[in-house]
Amino acid sequence: SGIKPMSLCMAFQQQIVRDECAAVKTVKDVGIDAVPSSAESPSRWPIDFANRQRQIIELWHDCNVSLVHRTYFFLLFKGDAADSVYMEVEHRRLSFILSSFSTTSAGGKLNTAIASSLKNMKRERDMLYKQMLKKLANGDKEGIYTRWGIDLGSKQRRLQLSRLVWARADMEHVRESASLVARLIDLVEPGQALKEMFGLNFTLAPRTERRSFSLLGA
């Protein structure tokens, strides 16, 4: 019953990553060959992970990255030593996306990469808004609204909530956002196969007018 979690998430994931990564030309541009290993300094990894995670979260915010992608990634990579390569690849991918945002379009118009990312995010928030009707029981809604600082007497509370999710970069907000989105999309405990999909499977996906990236499963 309901939507299929994998089909929902992968549809958003693949389309949005294609748009986000249009500026990256080759896998080597992301710097995979030069990714350091946590085995080089295992005692520092917990500190390095926390720092890199914070940087990634801030970049997600700055780059208007898919909310589903953020949720998957945040819940998948919790600090295992083997996560270092995935964290580094994600950080470098986001750095390329951010650099593409810094260029201006002709005529002073909004950068096409920014415009596309904002459009995708709005579509994704609209999807979460609709999922709230299906996934949030009436008895749970008031507690959720209160926890998110939404006045119970206000109008369009679901819409307000859909606009608040993943709107800030502080860790408490990030945890709450990931938990809520995971509930709305029926995200089960992610496994190793899904983790591998995020890491090194940046595969060139030819399109009619441009070359871009998509995240594909192994």
Full residue range of the structural domain in which residue 18 is found? 5-215
Task: Provide the domain count of the chain.
Answer: 1
- Chain mean pLDDT for the chain: 76
Q: What is the pLDDT of residue 138?
A: 83
Confidence of residue 152 (pLDDT cuts 50, 70, 90): very high
Q: What is the 3-state secondary structure (H, E, C) of 72-114?
A: HHHHHCCCCHHHHHHHHHHHHHHHHHHHHHCCCCHHHCCCHHH
Q: Over the stretch 95-144, which tens digit does the pLDDT of each residue have?
A: 988 888 876 655 666 678 888 889 999 999 999 999 999 999 888 899 99
Q: What is the pLDDT of residue 106?
A: 58
**Who's near 196: CB < 8 A, 6+ residues apart?**
218
Nearest to 128 by CA among 173, 215, 67: 67
Q: Over the stretch 38-56, which tens digit does the pLDDT of each residue have?
A: 555 667 888 999 999 999 9
Q: What is the pLDDT of residue 12?
A: 52
Whole-number Å distance between alpha carbons of 82 and 76: 12
Strand partners, 204: 213
Q: State the average pLDDT over residues 80-100.
A: 89
Cut 0.75: pTM above it: no
DSSP string for residues in 104-163: PPGGGPPPHHHHHHHHHHHHHHHHHHHHHHHHS-HHHHHHHHHHTT--TTSS-HHHHHHH
